[in-house]
Each structure stands twice: as structure tokens, then as C-alpha cells.
Amino acid sequence: MSAQIIEKGPIPLDAASTVLETYFDGKDFNQPKVLRTAFANHGVVKFTIDAEIIEFPSEIRGGDLIAKTLFEDFHKQFVDVRSYYITDELGELSDGVIKGLHWLVVMKERQTGNLRVGTGSYDFTFVHEAFLGWRIDELKIHIQEMLSLADAGEGIRSLQGAL
């Protein structure tokens, strides 16, 4: 039995925070099953990428494929991934949407050992599914900048520790 959408509209702030925490825990800590629970069954992720050194498909549909592509495949290339909000608030929260949630990511390239530091913004649209609760219906990820920096040892730990 598949979940049905029972509500699309305003999401309580505490519910939005919980869904975002699930998303970041699944993404950063390579937990595709946790991440999968953040997305609606029919969820979609759309990318706009200004940086030239990172690639993703322009669109991914379906919670299972989102979890596999973005996070299982992603963690084959990167390790020690940590994401941070660059704001004290969740962006503009209205009518089931969070717009302009700015982020910073710090991670390490598995192949080269280089640090990657990136920034951009998220737009989240939420739905409430019967028996499952609030989920991400659509996630728009804008990658504004992504840098690759030589790591002289414990640089990633120092940088992440300072954040």
C-alpha cells in the first residue's frame, strides 16, 4: 500500500526542522535508509549548478532513486561530509515551502584527499503523507560555488571543528 498525500500546505516549524534533520543526517552520515524517510515516495530533486567541478543529474525522481543517486553514489566519491546552515533561521517558511536556505558543505575527495568546500541554497517543498507524516516533496539544490583545496593533513577536521 503506497502512502497518499493528505496535506500540501503550511508545515509546522518543528515538523520542518525534524524533516531537515533527517535529510542532513542521512546525507552527511551516508545513511540512505534514513535519508529515504525524508522524501515522499514521488519526491523530486532538481539541481542548478554554477560550479564546474561537481556534477549531478538535473533531476532525480522517486525516493529510492534519490537516496541511491545522491547519497550512496555521492559517498563513493566523498567522505567526512558535513553540511551547515549559513543562517540562524530556516529561510522563508510559507505555504509548505522553505526558500533560500543557504548552506555550506565541507568534505574530502576520496580519490585525491583534497578538501571540497561548497556553498549554495536549498528550496524545500513539503507534503504530509498518510501514516508517514511530513516529507520532502520537492528539493531544489543550487550549487553556487565548489572549491577543491589541497589538504595538508588534518585540515578537514580543523575546518569542521571550527564550524
pTM of the predicted structure, to 2 decimals: 0.86
Say if CB 20 and CB 34 are below 8 A apart: no
Mean pLDDT score, 25-30 = 87
Q: Is 25 helix (H, G, I), strand (E, B) or coil?
A: helix
Strands 39-49 and 133-149: parallel
Domain ranges of the chain: 5-162
CATH number of 5-162: 3.10.450.50
pLDDT for position 1 = 45
**How distant, in Å, are the alpha carbons of 24, 97, 117, 133, 155 from that of 31?**
10, 25, 21, 20, 24
Per residue in 100-147, pLDDT tens? Answer: 899 999 999 999 989 999 999 999 999 988 888 999 999 999 999 999
Q: For residue 160, what pLDDT band results from cuts at 50, 70 and 90?
A: low
d(CA 150, CA 48): 26
